[in-house]
Structure 1
Amino acid sequence: MPSLIRGEPKPLTLEELIASFSTLKIEPAPPEIENTPPPPCPIANLPDELLVPILQDVAVADVGDFARLSLVCKHFAFLVATEQRPWKRVCLGSEFGFTSMPRHWQKSIEWEDLEIQEEADEDGLLISMRELEERRLADAVSFTLSLHDPDVYPSWKHMFRNRPRIRFNGCYISTVNYVRSGQASTNQSTWGGAPVLIVTYYRYLRFFRDGTVISLLTTASPVDVVHHLTPELLLLHREAPHSHLPSAVMHQAYKGRWRQSSALDHPDNTDPQDQESDIYVETEGVGTKYMYRMDLTLRSAGKGTKNNKIVWRGFHSYNKLTDDWAEFQLKNDKPFFFSRVKSYGIGEPAKEL
């Protein structure tokens, strides 16, 4: 028996298993009736030169559907795992990629456009926001291309999975549960002393590609909230004198803006992944004289999923009148976890490269 065990072949690694699919072709479905011709399968006759652009269009429409194509057949699994062109297009595109991650403030907290002329170029001449945005987009594409390096991100697929990024096809939810003591009744005795209350509330963050964000703190559960986290409903309840059901919860939502960190925020840190992990969020506060600032960091929870967790680094309130900062104690607050919402689609119409 020991000799038989020693003679058993070693199981293939994932890379070796994928490589073994390279010579396999797409197999058509078997005939519905025995000894009859099989149904036609035109895609099985397509060469990879034509099949890869089709897969790339699928990736641009929904990168999740593109990844799930690997479950169709072994040849699709080989293309999804090894073909770099669709992954490169996704990384450089604005639909899901890194050119839609703002590294600078692009809007005000109230979602208004910034000043038309914001900063000067190398010659000291003021440039328009449109030209500034084009330059920043070109810099983002150039920086993304430079990170495709064996020592940083050896493949475009590896970059998309591991490089810090915000997801736009859903929202981030923090569920907070804590226990506090209730007031004992004076009319009857309570067994064990004062009653104990379990309090549950939720924090929601939905990010948009233009640098805006919606922040909401409520006791309403996600099933009653996530489908209403839209700019249209926020503005509707902001301007209407009365709440509108069933989206009345948006009456408590705050406008805000966000940006991702870069090397400018961490000049002493040379690791690109650490440089881009932080997220800065600024929102409206209670009343017009306050502003809230959230300092967050992107993390991953679970083995197969990346960038699905946001942890707290700090939470502050700023008084615009007195120029004072106050820090909130994050005693009960928990991390945010990403939840995909199908009604969001890819988040919003993508910007053109």
Structure 2
Amino acid sequence: MVQNKIQAKMLFLKGVENEQNGKLDEAIHFYRRAVQLVPDIEFRLYDASKLKPRERHEIDNSADDLEVGHDQEVDSGSEDDDDDDSDTDLLSHLQRLFSRSMCVCTPHHEQKATHISALPMEIILYILRWVVSSDLDLRSLEMCSHVCRGFYLCSRDPEIWRLACARVWGVNCGGLTPYESWRKMFIERPRLHFNGCYISKTTYVRSGENNFQDHFYRPWHVVEYYRYLRFFPEGLVLMLTTPDDPLSSLGQLRHRIPKNPAMLSGHYCLLEDRVVLVLHRQDSAVKMAVNNRNRGRRREGTQDLGEQTFHMELQIVTYRNRIHAQLVWQRYSVFTRFRNGQENTTTFDLPRNRYPPYWFSRVKSYTAESENPL
């Protein structure tokens, strides 16, 4: 009788492992054999997973002793395999441990309160979707994977990474080929970062006016200003050009609807390793400019600035160990429509000294709260 229970447990755990690997036919075969030996084997294993940590540890050790012969057979057939793919080996090893314990994690100390390990796997995965949030904070998900081996498995759930890839690339996401997994696609495929801001610092020297007392003295001014780009997963982009340093400027880019009238807003499109931006001034800024022009009609020579639309194309570049952390200028033009109906397009040359690249910088306040799950 005891031998039947042990054999039924081994068959049921093999069925669980095959089901997790997508081999449903083999899993059903092992389930049937286990139920024929012990009809209530599933309830017995579920009750065993709810035991105290010390008792569960003893059960796991006994299961390890029973599977020594099986592990030796597997190892003898793969002596020539190398250990380069350590992440895959670790993931498969933790999946085998999880199939034995049937529990995400265990409390280190006995406690009367309900532990998080009592939650079903579906609830924990939903919590992790809130951790990632609609702003795609995958860095926080990776930090959750450091908690324990159960959270490591949950953070590698393919569905979470598939949803993240679909949110980044949309209809252009395609299939997994040539990537091994959705997580590999999200890491290796050129993309934008959403948990921070891209910053470009420009510095140049400008000559000043002669001194009225000394005509041989001409001052020189060092001009320094910043360009900021903030991307959102739904295709919205904000751009701010200001002489203020990042410490005082990054907070203005936190919300999707900015309060600063000098900020440009628009949309972007991701095309392989290029990102195309179309920006325009806010309605409040346009109305303010129209009012200023109306006040200056009495003055002669008032210039019609028109409505401007900015077109930019940037290339996503990996610099050393910083993946997708740099945006390099490729094209920049301004389309202007005047009040009299005339249109004008100005295209700028892009020398590297005048248009330095954007560098990504993570901003903690951007992902401090989650408004919607992934």
Length-normalised TM-score, structure 1: 0.57
Structure 1 residues 173-215: Cα deviation after superposition (integer angstroms, max 9, x where no partner): 2112345567797989x9xx98765432101123345654332
Q: In structure 2, do the counterparts of structure 1 residues 261 and 197 end up closer, same or farther at CA, with 3 Å as the change threshold?
A: same
Pair 1:205 & 2:224 matched: no
What does the per-residue CA deviation read over 1:51-86, in whole Å, with 9 as the maximum and x for residues that have no partner? 4444344334643321211211233224434x3122
CA gap of 1:185–1:225, structure 2 versus 1, over 3 A, is same
Does 2:138 correspond to 1:67? Answer: no
Q: 2:262 matched to 1:252?
A: yes
The question of 1:216 aligning with 2:240 is answered: yes
1:311 is aligned to 2:311? no
Corresponding position of 1:283: 280
1:330 positional shift: 2.9
Matched, 1:92 2:166: yes
Q: SS in structure 2 opposite 1:330?
A: coil
The within-5 A match list for 1:7-18 is 13-18=86-91
8 Å contact from structure 1 (residues 215, 283) kept in 2: no
Specify the alignment match of 2:347 in structure 1.
Answer: 327
- Specify which of 300, 306, 311 is matched with residue 318 of structure 2: 300
Unaligned runs of 5+ in 1: 1-8, 32-36, 100-139, 235-249, 263-272
**Distance in 1 between the 2:350 and 2:180 partners?**
38
Contact 1:169–1:347 (CA<8 Å) still a contact in 2? Answer: no
What amino acid is aligned across from residue 85 of structure 1 in structure 2?
Answer: E
Q: Secondary structure at the match of 1:21?
A: helix
Inter-CA distance 324–160: structure 2 relative to 1 (3 Å threshold) = same
Q: In 2, are the aligned partners of 1:172 and 1:338 still within 8 Å (CA)? A: yes
Distance 1:194 1:39 in 2: 79
The answer to whether 1:42 aligns with 2:115 is: yes
Aligned to 1:173: 199
Structure-2 change in CA distance of 1:158 and 1:29 (3 Å): same
CA contact under 8 A between 1:28 and 1:40: conserved in structure 2? no
Q: What secondary structure is seen at the aligned counterpart in 2 of 1:252?
A: coil
CA contact (8 A) 2:133 2:370 kept: no
CA positional deviation for 1:251? 4.2
TM-score normalised by structure 2 residue count: 0.55
Question: Identity, % of aligned pairs?
Answer: 27
| d(CA) in 1 for partners of 2:227, 2:192 | 17
Contact 1:208 1:347 in 2 (8 A): no
Letter in 2 for 1:327: T
Separation (CA, whole Å) in 2 of partners of 1:42 and 1:347: 24
Q: Distance in 2 between matches of 1:198 and 1:227?
A: 26
Stretches of structure 2 lacking an aligned partner (at least 5 in a row): 1-81, 99-103, 290-304
Q: Could you tell me how far apart the structure 1 residues matched to 2:208 and 2:112 are?
A: 69
* Change over 3 Å in CA distance of 1:19–1:41 after alignment to 2: farther
Measure the CA separation in 2 of the matches of 1:308 and 1:59: 20
* Distance change (3 Å), C-alpha of 1:253 and 1:53: closer
Partner of 2:361: 339
| Structural RMSD (CA) | 4.1
- C-alpha contact 2:176 2:182 (8 A) present in aligned 1: no
Distance in 2, matches of 1:67 and 1:348, equals: 16
- SS at 2:150's partner residue? helix
Residue aligned with 2:116, SS: helix
Q: State the Cα distance separating 1:307 from its structure 2 match.
A: 3.5
Higher-Rg member (1/2): 2
Greater helix percent: which structure? Answer: 2
Residue of structure 1 equivalent to 2:41: none
